[in-house]
Amino acid sequence: MKRILLILAAVLTAGTSLQAQKYPGGVVDKTVAILGGEVILISDIEAEVQQRRAGGQYSDRDMRCEVLQSMMESKLFLMQARLDSLTVNNDMVDGNLSQRMDWFRTQLGGDDEMEAYFGKPMYKLRQEWKKALEEQSLMEQERYQVASTIPEVTPYDVQQYLDTTAVEDLPVVPVKYQLSQICVYPDREAAALAVKDKLLSLRERIMNGEKFSTLARLYSEDPGSARRGGELGMASKSIFWPAFSDAAMALRPGTISQVVETPDGFHIIEVIEKRGDMFNARHILLKPQYTAEDREKAFSRLDSLRTAIQKEEIPFALAARFYSEDPASRTNGGQMADPSTGSSYYEIDQLKPADYAAIKNLQEGEISEPVESLDNEGYLQGRNGNLVYKIIRVDKILPAHTATFEHDYTQILEQVQNGKQMAAVDAFLEQKIKSTYIVIDPMFAECEFTRESWNQRK
């Protein structure tokens, strides 16, 4: 064991890794960790720290210590992946590389700014990041393989977990609701036509000499860019909706687009500058607006349906199939499902605020008054959705309770499985840390790693 804990300087004084280039300020690149046949350079750590900070990440602990520990653990998975002859998922690597390049180009303002920030030409960044993503692909595959070595979790395992875990340590399942809805949309076509007319009017004013930036500040409903006169900044076309980027890339600088529709609303666009597949543009965004008359009409219709259901003139499920305008829930008799999980049960924080406000005081079987809410369009992309009016029935309420085999089997099964997978990964790392030739440079001697095994190897 002592042989493995040799001081790095004694091992590397004759090594070529110390004879690398200098960084601004005179810092010499050097090897700071050896794990078997893999090495970690100080430049690797600095590059990762730089990327994290460019992405707005900060840490209460020493970020370089965090990065070093993460890299060392990743190297252990990489070593095993090479032994297991795993192959790189090239499609995933190419896709992730393009996303990363486009994100940084957009954040930093273009290729020149990106090269200046990282101190390297674009081709070099692409080479380095592709190599890192290839290694990441192998590491993730190996980690998955390690996690998958656990035996299949059985009902016996779930029951044993419940029997051997103190009641106070068992998870508490919050109150859950099973809900059904009948939805009515406002007249979206009329609202869209009104928005288009307004944008065409603004476009005509710009063509007649008014400043695009002034009108953007006055009228655009994109708060971030409106303050800057509608300007978006130099960005890759890949970060915008295809209809928006296609329209912008087809414009000559200084020209104004026709009305462009995206899931965010309707736009007119002025391109300021184009560089390759990047552009800087101004836009004015307007979203369809609905009137009190739209709301009153929808509420009246929903209230009539609610009354008919309460009088048992028509079952709720049948009314939903005939009258609801939400395609996802209509076919299920109105039953709502979480778009991210597919579950028909909602915890409070999974409900839209308007939906929860409508049902929070209801009992099972009761139906809410008509409410104005949002649908799930764009939910998985992080958007708010479209305006919709609805009534909601509370089908079932599961009170908050300590998890049980009978009511929460799936949730406990997942928890037991995750615990066993984490234990398998931990066991793999502990075994590799003990059996692998590892040397850590004394410059990281003050690091307090979160995994104690690393602290013992310093």
The answer to whether 137 and 78 are in contact (CB under 8 A) is no
Question: CA-CA distances (angstroms) from residue 186 to 289, 299, 325, 371, 456?
Answer: 10, 10, 10, 13, 65
Where exactly are the structural domains of the chain? 8-150+420-455, 176-187+291-399, 189-286
Looking at residue 28, its pLDDT comes to 64
- What's the rounded Cα separation, in Å, for the pair 412 and 457? 36
Nearest to 271 by CA among 288, 287, 254: 254
How much of the chain exceeds pLDDT 90, in percent? 66
SS3 state of residue 399 = coil
Looking at residue 50, its pLDDT comes to 83
Looking at residue 11, its pLDDT comes to 30
Residue range 189-286, CATH number: 3.10.50.40
The answer to whether 184 and 390 are in contact (CB under 8 A) is yes
Looking at residue 13, its pLDDT comes to 29
Nearest to 260 by CA among 251, 269, 252: 269
The answer to whether 283 and 222 are in contact (CB under 8 A) is yes
For the stretch 227-266, pLDDT in tens is 999 999 998 898 899 999 999 999 999 999 999 999 889 9
Looking at residue 251, its pLDDT comes to 94
- What's the rounded Cα separation, in Å, for the pair 295 and 390? 11
Whether the CA torsion 446, 450, 452, 458 is positive or negative: it is negative
What stretch of H or E contains 440?
Answer: strand 438-440
For the stretch 371-383, pLDDT in tens is 999 888 765 566 6
Q: What is the b/e burial string over 269-280, where b = at least 16 CB atoms within 10 angstroms of the residue's CB?
A: bbbbebeeebbb
SS3 state of residue 38 = strand
The domain 176-187+291-399 is classified under which CATH number: 3.50.50.60, 3.40.1280.10, 3.10.50.40, 3.40.50.720?
3.10.50.40
Q: What angle do CA 292, 295, 298 make, to 5 degrees?
A: 150
Looking at residue 62, its pLDDT comes to 85
Residue range 8-150+420-455, CATH number: 1.10.4030
The answer to whether 433 and 72 are in contact (CB under 8 A) is no
Q: Is it true that 176-187+291-399 and 189-286 share their CATH fold?
A: yes
What stretch of H or E contains 46?
Answer: helix 42-54
Q: What is the b/e burial string over 233-268, where b = at least 16 CB atoms within 10 angstroms of the residue's CB?
A: ebbbbbbbeeebbebbeebeeeebbebbebebbbbb
CA dihedral 226, 230, 236, 241 (to 10 degrees): 80
Looking at residue 188, its pLDDT comes to 87
- What's the rounded Cα separation, in Å, for the pair 289 and 312? 36
Task: Calculate the average pLDDT of the chain.
Answer: 88
| Low-confidence spans in the chain with pLDDT less than 50 | 1-26
Residue with tokens 């939400």: 326
Looking at residue 16, its pLDDT comes to 30
